[in-house]
């Protein structure tokens, strides 16, 4: 079972099938998914992809969290993940996707911080990656605010991505400096 997290402005709770329609609506915005290959234009394949991700067991303490604003807890803002990279591993990846209405408000960074703290403090991971498409400067900024640094080039579904990385020691040093 995944924990629930609260920040100053946000509630993160384990993603469930009750979130599928909100996830599908978010993914239908081409600006939201323009850097992420996926079945976004095929409703049946999209629903199957989301169902599989929502119902998957990624391991103890790993999975997806749905993000909501504390002042509007019924409004789905997006999600944060901490799962094996590309759902297979062996590396553990943090990722985020938020509705366009949330962009530029610091929600992705705020929501990812307790998930990283969970990764290092509870799960005792040694490092976490975030694979980000070239041109996705907003996600690159989020990664850098969280203390992740570009580590290497990688590929996702045949497309080039930059793999950002943070170690537990770097996270702890970054947390103390904040």
CA angle 79, 119, 163 (to 5 degrees): 70
Q: By residue range, what is the domain housing residue 98?
A: 5-177
Whether pLDDT at 175 is above 90: no
For residue 61, the domain's CATH number is: 3.40.630.30
Count the domains in the chain. Answer: 1
Question: What residues have CB less than 8 Å from 38, skipping those under 6 apart?
Answer: 27, 46, 49
Rounded CA separation 24/67 (Å)? 15
Whether pLDDT at 178 is above 70: no
Q: What is the tens place of the pLDDT at every residue in 55-75?
A: 999 999 999 999 999 999 999
Whether pLDDT at 4 is above 90: yes
Contact between 164 and 148 under an 8 Å Cβ cutoff? The reply is: yes
Model pTM?
0.93
Confidence category of residue 6, pLDDT binned at 50, 70, 90: very high
Q: Which of 31, 103, 113, 25 minimizes the C-alpha distance to 65?
A: 113
């Amino acid at each position: 079972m995944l924990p629930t997290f609260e920040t100053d402005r946000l509630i993160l709770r384990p993603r469930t099938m009750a979130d599928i329609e909100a996830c599908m609506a978010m993914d239908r915005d081409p600006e939201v998914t323009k850097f992420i290959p996926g079945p976004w234009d095929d409703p049946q394949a999209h629903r199957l992809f989301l169902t599989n991700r929502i119902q998957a067991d990624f391991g103890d303490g790993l999975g997806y969290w749905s993000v909501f604003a504390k002042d509007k807890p019924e409004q789905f803002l997006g999600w944060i993940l901490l799962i094996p990279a590309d759902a297979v591993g062996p590396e553990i990846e943090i990722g985020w996707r938020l509705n366009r209405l949330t962009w530029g408000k610091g929600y992705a960074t705020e929501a990812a911080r307790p998930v990283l703290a969970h990764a290092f403090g509870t799960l005792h991971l040694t490092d976490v990656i975030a694979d980000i498409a070239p041109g996705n400067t907003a996600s690159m900024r989020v990664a850098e605010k969280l203390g992740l640094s570009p580590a290497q080039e990688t590929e996702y579904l045949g497309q080039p991505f930059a793999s950002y990385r943070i170690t537990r020691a770097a996270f702890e040093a970054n947390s103390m400096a904040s």
